[in-house]
Amino acid sequence: MDLTALTISEAAAALQRGDLTAVAYAEALLGRATQAAGLNAFIHHDAAQVRAAARAADEQRARGAKPGPLHGIPLALKDNLDTAGTATTAGTPGLRANRPARNAPIVQKLIDAGAIVFGKANLHELAYGITNNNAAFGAARNPYDRTRIPGGSSGGVGAAVGARIVPGGIGSDTGGSVRIPAALCGIVGFRPTLLRWSQAGIVPISHTRDTAGPMTRSVADCALLDCVVTGSTALPAPSLKGLRLGVPRGHFWESLDVEVASLMEGVLVRLKDAGAILIEADIADAARLDNEAGFPIALYETIVDLNAYLADHGSSMRYADLVAQVASADVKGILQSLLGEGAIPEAAYRVALDVQRPALQRAYSEYFARHDVAAVLLPTTPLPAARIGEDETVLLNGAPAPTFPTFIRNCSPGSVAGIPGITLPAALTKAGLPLGIELDGPTGSDAQLLALARAVEAALPRIPAPKV
């Protein structure tokens, strides 16, 4: 049996039954990590630490201790999540020596449930981008094509889970940074409702937009990790027959790569054949409100929140000191501009936060209520994975398009509104590149959305594992 093919739920069941030891499972994954080292999925990975943790898990079980729900399960953690005693770099040189005194609360909950930290995963520097072309620690690579990006900013987790190095991991999402790499690496990625997961102990961008979230190879595994972190209970999957799902053609289904558009229409046909009722209706002013609220909020809060993180961790550095050491040109350009003419005025921030964002939240709330839909369906990204190095522009149907705003276009509005969203593997292009379909639900509907996603997942084709 190929142990690397096991999902979290499958591996956890085998470990709890005693059919599999944590040591044997860890060794299989360590072998896979060696085989797939060229993906550059990790900034920090210590095989000896993984082996020691696996031995401790087996010894604990041998003593008769009751195993937790994640007993012996290795997970990849994006390297902006605090881990006690291990560097949390956020992929930037200025934080190479950042060794937090304690684990982030969500990390502690996973460890308390029996999880093993397999390594700290690569990311776009300071989580400020979607390519994961990190000039300080090297580009992470897509497991389906090493010349392509895995997406970002949680690209290392996406690559590691997609390549079967680990069965799951935790990323963070400000404008799509869990869902974009999940879609491009052929896995599931879940963004919870804002503040459902604690923000503490995570190198921040924006407290109004940031959340951690799970990245796995099945919806059931995302639900399991969500239950561990939140203490909630997973709901059973509903029938798709008669279930109403919104299809907002305006903005979300426009200007798609031609092949993406065709494959996504095929997904809609599958869901209709399974009995779902598709309601074609647009979300009022979603694109405009996202544009007017999203960047002013994130750019203004970045300085405030990074300074707070540095102070809380006892660092003598402040925002300007950290930015001075940034290695990636795209990130440095944005962050340095905030110290000068590119700074967001407080008045503009207040309008974005107090007027435009609430208007976007109302637009979503009214949409779900007026059309009586459980979730909206949209292509997670308008195009497949770009080539590494296409940091500024990418070709979309033969014409150059700006890389960053193009890839976040569909994920960003839900992020700004703070609603939950989940991307599922939906198709492969002719070139063998994965694509995702996203479901966004009402605020606080996380358990219902995860249950619905299980039903949708069952109606979609399985994406084959990459040949790493």
Per residue in 141-194, pLDDT (tens digit) is 999 999 999 999 999 999 999 999 999 999 999 999 999 999 999 999 999 999
What's the rounded mean pLDDT across residues 293-319? 98
What's the rounded mean pLDDT across residues 359-365? 98
Catalytic residues: 78, 153, 177
What's the rounded mean pLDDT across residues 200-206? 98
- Give the chain's count of helices (H) and strands (E): 16, 15
Percent of the chain predicted with pLDDT > 90: 98
Going along the chain from its start, the domains and CATH numbers come out as 3-459 (3.90.1300.10)
Determine contact, residues 170/78, Cβ cutoff 8 Å. Answer: yes
What's the CA angle centered on 177, arms 54 and 428, to 5 degrees? 85
Spatial distance between the Cα atoms of 166 and 254, rounded to a whole number of angstroms: 35
Take residue 375 and report the two structure tokens written for it: 């979730």
Sheet holding 434-440, edge to edge: 42-44, 116-121, 74-78, 168-173, 211-216, 188-191, 421-428, 434-440, 375-379, 244-247, 277-280
Kindly report, residue by residue over 398-456, the tens digit of the pLDDT: 999 999 999 999 999 999 999 999 999 999 999 999 999 999 999 999 999 999 999 99
* Consecutive H or E run containing 26: helix 22-35
Give just the sign of the alpha carbon dihedral 101, 105, 109, 111: negative
C-alpha separations of 18 from 6, 15, 112, 145, 465 in Å: 15, 5, 20, 37, 27
End-to-end CA distance of the chain: 18
Determine contact, residues 201/100, Cβ cutoff 8 Å. Answer: yes
> Is the whole model's pTM more than 0.95, yes or no?
yes
Q: Is pLDDT at 245 greater than 90 in this prediction? A: yes
Spatial distance between the Cα atoms of 287 and 414, rounded to a whole number of angstroms: 10
Q: How many CB atoms lie within 10 A of CB 317?
A: 18
